[in-house]
Amino acid sequence: MPAVSYRPRYQIEDYLGWEGDWELWDGVPVSMAPSPDFFHQSIGGNLYVQLRSQLAREECPAECSALYEIDWHIDGNTVVRPDLVVVCERPEGRWIEKRPDLVAEILSPSTRQKDLVAKRELYSANGVPFYLVVDPNGRGATLLRLDGDSYAEDPAESPFELHPGCVLRIDLPALFA
């Protein structure tokens, strides 16, 4: 008789007590990679500045904010920490619980497959309208726009309407400067 495999499933209450950097995917702990390197951090900072300045325009809802590395508690057993999110509703607590309007992930060798496959599926399944995938190695990015229940790919430089009248655009050369 083969050995029975036991895989515990965890909840947010468990996650909140853990030390170190973790995400929780459908009850399964996922260790986060060591802190991002200088180039990754630089790209993230440049993206944050770009989005924040564009969101400050009066055409955009005043509630919209760009946030860097904040936990998104999707449900009772799933927590992720994207590189950057845009939310247009102020969180009530220390993290966000409602779906972001935009999620951005900056690829790294240790997270590339998770970001391109698992997180893409997770974000589309949870109705994230825009998913920006930034590739430092290729010095490029892809903007994924939710179309039904899956993502359609657009060039990252294409303007996109986050909310009516609130048009954003990613400046790739400035992103990688």
Alpha-carbon span 115 to 69, nearest angstrom: 14
AA letter at 39: F
- Cα–Cα distance between 160 and 168 in angstroms, integer? 5
Q: Which residue has the tokens 């904010």?
A: 65
Q: Note the pLDDT of residue 132.
A: 97
User: Beta strands 102-106 and 130-135: pairing type?
Assistant: parallel
User: 81 with 32: CB under 8 angstroms?
Assistant: yes
Instruction: Quote the pTM value.
Output: 0.88
Fold (topology level) of 36-175: tt1808, chain A (3.90.1570)
pLDDT at position 65 is: 95
Report, as ranges of residue numbers, the positions in the chain whose pLDDT lies below 70: 1-4
Question: What are the residue boundaries of the structural domains of the chain, listed by start?
Answer: 36-175
3-state secondary structure of 43: helix
Which pLDDT score is estimated for 111? 87
pLDDT at 90 (0 to 100)? 86
Looking at residue 110, its pLDDT comes to 85
